[in-house]
Amino acid sequence: MKVAFFDIAAQYRALRYEIDAAVRHVLESGRYSNATENAAFEKELGAYLGVREVVAVNSGTDALLLSLKALGIGADDEVIVPSFTFFATAEAVCLAGAQPRFADCANGAFNIDLRSVEDAFSPKVKAVIAVHLYGQPVDLAPIQEFCAARNLHLIEDCAQALGAAYRGRRVGTLGVAGAFSFYPTKNLGACGDGGAICCDDPELAAHLRRLRNHGRTSAFSHSEIGINSRLDEIQAAILRVKLPHLDHWNARRLALAQRYRIGLQNTRCILPPGCNSSTSVFHHFAVIHPQRNALRAFLAEHDVETAIYYPTPCHLQSAFGNGVNALSLPQAERNADHMLALPIYPELSDIAIDHVVSLVRAFEQG
């Protein structure tokens, strides 16, 4: 039985007529950038998240970059970020002109650890970026307290976590800004790149809208240096079709994750940590296994696709230089060496999950 890691086109097949009609409407309108579809999508996503403002941009990376720039973070500033995350989280800090300070994961978890955040703090730090990795919310309360005590901005990187909740609130709404990605593989994926920033501050949102559009205040007047980061109308229209289905898709991911949890009990897999105060959306179902590479090869031999996110933590990436590379962040390094993502997406069948589980057990018994 072949089990694909993703089936991105499955959502299109299910929503073909609605998506085709939405795209055709945009093409016939002749308005392809920063028009009615964007405005409607921002309003609908804001209602879903429960925030006053949403600013659509062209990627999750730009969502982080523009958040930093709008908050005045730049040269000579530092931002604490987790090392175990996608490169773009730290890259955005550098693109803003600031420097990342890397923090480790909590013991036995994938998300950022408060004690490591405390160790990474310096007088130059102006913000903390908390990444809700794999769709699992960070335990934000202690980090909120840490930031409030030091007058730091808390930015949430929700690229993999749209729809997840922490203490009854959607992630992205608990800091000064929340950054989202709509890359095609995300829980809410466009048919290309896309992103958004949410906040409850109208002045911050107005600043973000200027920055995403060349710092423009009118057609040919520019009050500051910005970038071109507009979300195109076709992507906004597609996202509007998909957004009403997101909670159903996320609920299916949660059910599949629970099936994995039951099936993988009493194996050598260390399962994703749970938290009573949060609800994950399981963008990935990531396990830790002491024989990760051998297990992955065994699954591949049996036509089961898996993935590794991320084999090299940010603090060991050559892009950040030798001074950063000298850091020792043991939990991030452990995760990088032993993490394996098993297939999980809404269209995946229960039978497929049971098949993957049976293969993991066969590997361990062999």
User: 86-126: per-residue pLDDT in tens?
Assistant: 999 999 999 999 999 999 999 989 999 999 999 999 999 99
Beta-carbon contacts of residue 301 (< 8 Å; ≥ 6 apart): none
Is it the case that residue 305 has pLDDT exceeding 70? yes
Is it the case that residue 325 has pLDDT exceeding 70? no
- The percentage of the chain sitting over the pLDDT mark of 70, rounded to a whole number, equals 99
Domain residue ranges in the chain: 9-244, 246-365
Fold of 9-244: Aspartate Aminotransferase; domain 2 (3.40.640)
Q: Would you call 325 helix, strand, or coil by DSSP?
A: helix
Distance from C-alpha of 18 to C-alpha of 38, rounded to nearest angstrom:
17
Q: Which CATH class is domain 246-365?
A: alpha beta
Instruction: Give the catalytic positions in this structure.
Output: 186
pTM: 0.97
| Mean pLDDT along residues 212-216 | 96
Asked if residue 332 lies in contact with residue 84, where contact means CB atoms within 8 angstroms, the answer is yes
User: 256-275: per-residue pLDDT in tens?
Assistant: 999 999 999 999 999 988 77
- Count CB atoms within 10 A of the CB of residue 333: 19
Q: Would you call 125 helix, strand, or coil by DSSP?
A: strand
The kind and range of the H/E element at 309 are none
Judge whether 9-244 and 246-365 match in fold: no
Beta-carbon contacts of residue 277 (< 8 Å; ≥ 6 apart): 139, 166, 167
Is it the case that residue 323 has pLDDT exceeding 70? no
